[in-house]
Amino acid sequence: RPGLHPCVACPETIAAHDIQTQPTQGKGDDTAVNGIRLHCLPRSKTYPEHTITSSQGPWGSWTSPFWCHNGNYLTAFTLKVKGSQGHGDNTAVNNIRFSCSDGQLLAGVGHLWGSYGAWSQPCTHGVCGILTKVQGQQLFGDNTALNDVQFYCCANANAK
């Protein structure tokens, strides 16, 4: 059963993301996207550049980051999700897309399974936080890893 993990936030706006994804396992158990990592880019010298993640599953490896261009920042997202397969192999989140403040679109390199949902409402001052819902490892069941994610908007323009 998936559990919610703590919300983690950047003191300044997030300008990039990467995903932890498991390659296709053939006849094995696929989990697809296991985690999402956000890159906090300082707009001043007050904070160092760093990454945050709420939680992630144990499978797969991290991709290279996808950056917004020229000081722009993440503002909205859409998840690619594969619904329940009944007795088939469930994967839940298979990819993510973000839009940047200049309209640039960033897509992860997840899996083709599932379909994208509606875009989130845009964050006027950018995305500043993440909270994930991750299924723990199932000893005798179907592992799905990342099941859902919530992003939090920066409260004001000073976060940029």
Residue spans of the domains in the chain: they are: 3-159
Residues 6+ apart with CB under 8 A from 105: 97, 98, 99
Average pLDDT over residues 95-104: 95
Which CATH superfamily hosts domain 3-159?
Vitelline membrane outer layer protein I (VOMI) (2.100.10.20)
Residue bearing the bigger pLDDT, 52 or 90: 52
Residue 151, pLDDT score: 93
Residue bearing the bigger pLDDT, 120 or 54: 120
Residue 79, pLDDT score: 94
pLDDT of residue 104 exceeding 90, the answer is yes
Task: Indicate the average pLDDT of the chain.
Answer: 81
Average pLDDT over residues 32-39: 86
- Per-residue pLDDT band for 160 (boundaries 50, 70, 90) equals very low
